[in-house]
Each structure stands twice: as C-alpha cells, then as structure tokens.
Amino acid sequence: MEVTEKKKQGVDSVFFEITNPVEQAYGKYNPAGGDLIYTLLVQPVSNSLDYFKENNLPFTGRRIRFYNPSKVDVFSFLITIVPKRSIPVKNIAVRELYTMEYHVKNKGSNYFEINMPQLNYGYISYKRLKEDSAKITAPDTIVWDGVTFVREN
C-alpha cells in the first residue's frame, strides 16, 4: 500500500481515502463504493485504541472519517478488507485481507490517501497459501484448508 500524508488545517477529524482497482471499477457506477468493506484500527499517539469510537467499525465507502475533536496525532493504522459475497468474481476465495501496519511519518497528519494498486478482482478471486496448509493424501488428491480436491482425468 502506498500512503500520502497531508495536514488539513481547521478540521476536527482524521480522514482516510482509499483507492484501488476494485473501487475504481465500482466508482464508475456508484462513487460511494460497494464491493469491499473496510475496517480500520487507528492508534493515536499516547492514547488507548478506544480513543477513536470508529475503530473496528465497518465502512463500505472509500472515504472514511474518524472524529478527532482533541486533534490527537495518529501514530499508526492498519486496514482489514472484506469482500462482500456479492462481489463479481468467479470464485471468492479470500475471506479477508490485512494491510501491514503503517506508521505515520509526519506528526500532525490528519488526511491519508491510501492507494492499493494490486488490490483487484483477480487478487480477491484466488486463494493465497500464506498460513494455509495443503496435504497430498493420494496421487490425485489434495486436502487444502479442510476441503478435498481430486484431479479429474
């Protein structure tokens, strides 16, 4: 993920604007978004995670706002992305995706443009092997993530 940090003066919120190929494709028909659900976990500087009441709430739009009346600086954030079951892909194999934790570089930044250029429909439709296990139980049979797959001749 690529992040651009900005400081907007006179605002009482922290803003996140997320772009990716899925949002761009969907945006042609509905600019509010719709195929992905975002959950952000934002860590304020020297405050508990419950400072932002919006932490871990689902957002369906790509523009997300966290209320910040005391204008506390953001230390870091990470994003969970859940594709809706209605997403137009051949085989929805991904349950949820996680970004790496991003540590804010510029103190006082309150507007974050987040670009995820590789988050596309193809990436969502193919299952990744990280932290999964596959077991070959016969010359033509694999058990992967609790599901048995048999090769057809």
pLDDT in tens, 118-140: 888 888 877 555 566 778 888 89
Residue 28 is predicted with a pLDDT of 60
**pTM confidence score:** 0.77
Provide the number of structural domains found in the chain: 1
Q: For the chain, what is the total number of helices (H) and then of strands (E)?
A: 2, 12
Q: Encoding tokens for residue 19?
A: 């772009």
132: which strand partners? none
What is the Cα–Cα distance from 134 to 77, expressed in whole angstroms?
32
Lowest mean pLDDT among 46-55, 72-81, 104-113, 139-148: 139-148
User: Over 70: is that where the pLDDT of 32 sits?
Assistant: no
Please list the alpha-helical segments (H only) found in 63-142.
121-125
Nearest to 27 by CA among 51, 61, 53: 61
* Backbone Cα Rg of the chain: 19
Residue 70 neighbours by CB under 8 Å, 6+ apart = none
Q: Encoding tokens for residue 101?
A: 């934790």
Q: Which helix (H) or strand (E) holds 150?
A: strand 147-150
How many residues does the structure list for the chain? 153
The string of pLDDT tens digits covering residues 48-99 is: 889 999 999 999 888 999 999 999 999 999 999 988 877 767 666 667 888 9
Nearest to 42 by CA among 30, 34, 54: 54
Residue 17 is predicted with a pLDDT of 96
| CB of 40 closer than 8 Å to CB of 79 | yes
* Residue 119, domain extent: 2-150
* Section 145-152 average pLDDT: 83
Residue 112 is predicted with a pLDDT of 98
